[in-house]
Amino acid sequence: MSNLIKNNRYLILRRVIQIVILFLFFAANKWGWNILVGSLSTSKMFDTIPLSDPYAVIQMFFAGAVISSDLILGFLIVVAFYGLIAGRAFCSWVCPVNMITDLAGWLRRKLKIDEYGKRQLLLPHQFKYWFALVILIVSAITGTAAFEYINPVGILTRGVIFSMGFGWTWIVAIFLFDLFVMKNGWCSYVCPLGATYSIIGSKSVVKVLHNKDKCTACGNCFKVCPEVHVLENVINKKSGFITGIECRNCGRCIEVCYDEALKFNLKNFVKGVEK
């Protein structure tokens, strides 16, 4: 039992954080709590600290909106937190869609879809960056933040906090897309929000550190990693940080590594390893 917890410590912690954030939002609407009010697009913490979805703010800028000082401040706080410290952690520690896609990914492994199934739809990872860029152009053409019309992160969070309406169709679609169409399809290949956080978090301090001397090349990390390509150039090849900007800092690789060859570390404070 204690092993089960140890081997899933980050997973459990991530789920707790994701659910607590959703619950605080829900409670703010339901009972007027003021710890975290609003939704993931913009919120207020303790009635004072504004937080804003950076991609939504950029889209609004492209749409031609006048950006208020509150949004700029919220934008800067979020960009500073993920850019300096946490990396792409939003995607695995905050975003509620991650729970849906992780479930799909887990089921996909259990059903052995990648072993026996049809070759999956292929898209290069860079698709999401181009998509993010194209959406900015669409925002400029349509004069409104275009991704927010289909953003499943917003639709799911608002669905939990306010009302779901037909939003569940998006959630089911993403679940089935990841399960049957494309492995880790939404988060790794499509989501422009993930693309934004990848870019924002590329120079962050917290990264996963690999120790080649301890690695026995068991391949456990490759099985669970949702962004496998970030491991490819590092694992069992050299000691150093996983520097691929798409690493979500989810910590799954650390948990499944029984050789203890992986751990979180602070990139700028470790000497003698490749950065």
In whole angstroms, give the CA distance from residue 98 to residue 95. Answer: 6
Helices 168-176 and 152-161 pack at an angle, to 10 degrees, of 130
Determine, following the binding rule CB under 8 A, whether residue 126 of this chain makes contact with another protein.
yes
Binding range to another protein, per CB under 8 A, among 6-14, 160-168, 242-250, 253-261: 160-168
Q: Residue 205 burial (CB < 10 Å; 0-12/13-18/19+)?
A: middle
Closest among 185, 198, 203, 247 to 221, alpha carbons compared: 247
Residue 241 pairs in a beta bridge with: 209
Determine, following the binding rule CB under 8 A, whether residue 38 of this chain makes contact with another protein.
yes
For the range 110-116, what are the long-range contacts, defined as Cβ-Cβ under 8 Å and sequence gap of 24 or more? 111/179, 113/179, 113/180, 113/183, 114/183
Determine, following the binding rule CB under 8 A, whether residue 56 of this chain makes contact with another protein.
yes
Determine, following the binding rule CB under 8 A, whether residue 163 of this chain makes contact with another protein.
yes
Q: Which of 127, 175, 177, 222 binds another protein (CB under 8 A)?
A: 127
Between residues 93 and 147, which has the closer beta carbon with respect to another protein?
A: 147
Least gap, CB of 154 to another protein (angstroms):
6
Determine, following the binding rule CB under 8 A, whether residue 173 of this chain makes contact with another protein.
no
Q: Are 273 and 239 in contact (CB under 8 A)?
A: yes
Residues making contact with another protein (CB under 8 A): 28-29, 32, 37-39, 41-44, 50, 52-53, 56-57, 60, 63-68, 70-71, 74, 123-124, 126-127, 129-131, 133-135, 137-138, 141-150, 154-155, 158-159, 161-167, 169-170, 190
